[in-house]
Structure 1
Amino acid sequence: MVPNITLVIQGLAFFAVVLLVMKFGWPHIIAAIEERQKKIEEGLNQAEKARKELADADARVADEIRKARAEATQIIEKANQQAAQIVDKARQDAIVEATKQKAIAAADIEAQAHKAREELRGKVAELAVAGAEKILRREIDANAHKALIDQLVTEI
């Protein structure tokens, strides 16, 4: 097979175009490809950096939430303790007040009972004297009457 001249010219033209492209176009194409690679690499690096920052921020947020929950738990615990102390103090105060009121009531009852006993003794003495007077049918003088009442009060 003999190469014909057209094929040779086409081959030489192709070779010339390849040389021209390699001489003038190829550096621009390589530069554009390298620039694009650089931009893609920077974008990936920025994405990785942003992902790490997001992970760090998530960790900080989780830590802050944990701290806030712990603080809230402590506040609730403290409030419950204070409420229990207030209830205990109120209960103790109520017991003390009830004891005081009971003592006052007991003293009042005792005083009224003593007064009633004294009045009853006086009335019993008067009734005894009246009964004795009726039995004896005689009048007892005031001094004797008083002495008799005092004696009866003492005995009763």
Structure 2
Amino acid sequence: MNINATLFAQAIVFAILVWFTMKFVWPPIAKALDERAQKISEGLAAAEKAKTELAVANKRVEEALTQSRNESAARLADAERRALAIIEEAKARASEEAAKIVAAAKAEAEQQAVQAREALREQVAVLAVKGAEQILRREVNPSVHAELLQRLKAEL
């Protein structure tokens, strides 16, 4: 065998192998690589989009938290104002009731004082009659001298 013919035959076989590889093997490999590159770029784009959406969602959550904090603070302040108003109203009612009770007690004390004066006048009149009876040594009839006893009560 001739070395030149062997080299020539190997070059022809190599050329056929290159042509076969370029025609039938390389296109599916290139297609698979292109699809893989496209999937990777789509994944990166989706990840970037998700990252943007996450930032927007975090911003919305922070705004909602801030709003709910403000609302709860406003509700607390409103509740405190209502509590103070209720307390003031209760104090006003209590002072009104106390004034009514004091007025009723004063009226009752005044009435009891009047009754006590009347009872005292009666007792003084009875004592005066008894004293006068003993002084005169005779019996004084209260029914006969009712007018005199009434004037005596009024003077006392």
The answer to whether TM tops 0.5 is: yes
CA distance in 1, matches of 2:79, 2:90: 16
1:129 and 1:145 in contact (8 A); partners too: no
Q: Which residues of structure 2 form unaligned runs of 5+?
A: none
CA distance in 2, matches of 1:132, 1:60: 105
2:105 aligned with 1:118, yes or no? no
CA distance in 1, matches of 2:131, 2:53: 113
- Look up the match of 2:36: 36
RMSD: 2.8
The code of the aligned residue for 1:48 comes to E
2:153 aligned with 1:153, yes or no? yes
Give me the TM-score of the superposition, normalised by structure 2: 0.77
Q: State the 1:117 CA deviation.
A: 0.5
CA distance in 1, matches of 2:36, 2:147: 135
- Look up the match of 1:75: 75
Structure scoring higher RCO (CA < 8 A, sep ≥ 6) equals 1
Q: State the 1:104 CA deviation.
A: 0.6
2:125 and 2:152 in contact (8 A); partners too: yes
Q: State the 1:140 CA deviation.
A: 5.3
CA distance in 2, matches of 1:143, 1:76: 79
The code of the aligned residue for 1:59 comes to K
1:125 and 1:153 in contact (8 A); partners too: yes
- Paired positions, count: 154
Change (3 A) 1:137 1:145: same
Give me the TM-score of the superposition, normalised by structure 1: 0.77
CA distance in 2, matches of 1:120, 1:70: 73
